[in-house]
């Protein structure tokens, strides 16, 4: 008849075992966002009420019930992985005198890429026609969360899982640059709590993934307007970029606070400064010069071959303006957390069937 409460964050862990459900032992000031609940008795209703109240004061997403019927297998897996990361939510109907499951740590489980896996392209894809640079607009987290009955930040966490999968696939299949649109300048209008969560999620993910990425020879670059980002995030970014500077297998470019027009504007300012300093003449300004000044100069292949946008929207939304001049666009109907390997293979197959002429003629 006892209740066990385990609460932890990155540095701390607290226990409370008591006959009555109580959350007093939980240090409220330090707890960040994960609280796990094990109930060996049918006290869950009361506990969840207490839990809700406590959660709100701790700024934690409260557990919510979920409708099992509406989940397909991929979503279930996503949901399980989500729960594995922090806590599991119970619905009164499916927990009746049942022992809840424990919680595992937030360590990433991305397996190191082995050389043998590099050659195993799925059927139908030809290795010589693989794109060198793929860009992705990760759209649809909020909608996914709404459909599943979760909070929007759960959708973003699921999105991070999907991103891990795609990064793994890119590394295995020989794609050399992957650019992802994480946060746009237009997203600053979202509610503050969501923005705070997104940026802290980003910070946490970078910190936890650093080791794995370094081991897998992945280089990370961050592009975008960093003036509005919190200082702690900027420090983590600098550290990550520094550590992975010399990796060669895959370059992951994350666009945070980025907009295509902003990129061209800052390139224009750089060029204007150089003209003012007398370094170059106004007449010498041409496309190559602008290309050098754009933020994507961190990579050897700044122009994406393929752009994938999920969730069925048919827009580019101000992402990579200049660089998309000859990019093949692919619009996927699934929401980003559901995109996964199948969607990616479909996009690559569609890309390989296209005829790219760059304005000329195929004779």
Binding site for another protein (CB under 8 A): 186, 189, 260-262, 264-265, 267-269, 271-273, 275-276, 282-283, 285-287, 290, 313-318, 321-322, 324-331, 354, 358-361
Q: How far is the CB of 359 from another protein (least distance, A)?
A: 2
Q: Which residue from 141, 175, 160, 127 is spatially nearest to 304, judged by alpha carbons?
A: 175
Q: Which residues of 52-74 are buried (b: 16+ CB within 10 A; e: fewer)?
A: eebbeebebbebeebeeeebeeb
CB of 231 or CB of 357, closer to another protein:
357
- Shortest separation between residue 135's beta carbon and another protein, angstroms: 13
CB 267, min distance to another protein, A? 8
Q: How far is the CB of 278 from another protein (least distance, A)?
A: 11
Tokens encoding 19: 């006959």
When the beta carbons of 104 and 261 are compared against another protein, the nearer one is 261
Nearest distance from C-beta of residue 202 to another protein, angstroms:
22
Q: Considering beta carbons, is residue 228 or 269 the nearer one to another protein?
A: 269
**139 counts as catalytic:** yes
Smallest gap from Cβ 287 to another protein, in A, equals: 5
Nearer to another protein, 242 or 277 (CB): 277
Task: Considering the candidates 139, 263, 305, 338, report the single residue annotated as catalytic.
Answer: 139
Half-sphere exposure of 54 (CA within 13 A, CB side): 25
**Closer CB to another protein, 36 or 290, in the complex:** 290
- Residue with smaller CB distance to another protein, 96 or 287: 287
Catalytic residue ranges: 139
């Amino acid at each position: 008849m006892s209740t066990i409460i385990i609460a932890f964050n990155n540095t701390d862990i607290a226990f409370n075992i008591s006959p009555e459900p109580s959350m007093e032992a939980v240090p409220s000031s330090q707890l960040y966002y994960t609280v796990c609940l094990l109930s060996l008795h049918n006290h869950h209703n009361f506990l969840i009420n207490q839990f809700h109240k406590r959660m709100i004061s701790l700024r934690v997403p409260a557990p919510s019930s979920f409708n099992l019927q509406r989940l397909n297998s991929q979503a279930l897996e996503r949901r399980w992985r989500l729960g594995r990361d922090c806590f599991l939510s119970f619905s009164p109907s499916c927990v009746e005198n049942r022992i809840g499951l424990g919680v595992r740590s937030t360590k990433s489980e991305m397996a190191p890429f082995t050389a043998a896996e590099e050659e195993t392209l799925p059927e139908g894809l030809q290795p010589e026609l693989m794109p060198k640079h793929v860009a992705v607009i990760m759209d649809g987290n909020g909608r996914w969360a709404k459909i599943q009955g979760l909070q929007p930040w759960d959708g973003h966490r699921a999105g991070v899982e999907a991103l891990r999968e795609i990064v793994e696939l890119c590394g295995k299949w020989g794609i050399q640059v992957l650019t992802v649109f994480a946060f746009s300048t237009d997203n600053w209008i979202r509610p503050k709590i969501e923005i705070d969560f997104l940026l802290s999620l980003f910070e946490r993910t970078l910190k936890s993934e650093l080791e794995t990425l370094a081991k897998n020879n992945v280089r990370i670059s961050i592009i975008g307007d960093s003036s509005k980002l919190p200082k702690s995030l900027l420090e983590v970014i600098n550290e990550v970029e520094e550590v992975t500077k010399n990796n060669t297998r895959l370059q992951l470019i994350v666009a945070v606070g980025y907009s295509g027009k902003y990129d061209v504007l800052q390139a224009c300012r750089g060029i204007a400064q150089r003209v003012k300093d007398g370094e170059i003449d106004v007449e010498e300004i041409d496309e190559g010069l602008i290309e050098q000044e754009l933020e994507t100069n961190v990579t050897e292949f700044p122009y994406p071959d393929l752009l994938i946008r999920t969730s069925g929207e048919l827009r580019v939304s101000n992402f990579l303006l200049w660089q998309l001049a000859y990019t093949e666009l692919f619009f996927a109907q699934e929401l980003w957390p559901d995109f996964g390997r199948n969607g990616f293979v479909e996009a690559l197959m569609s890309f390989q069937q296209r005829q790219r002429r760059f304005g000329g003629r195929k004779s």
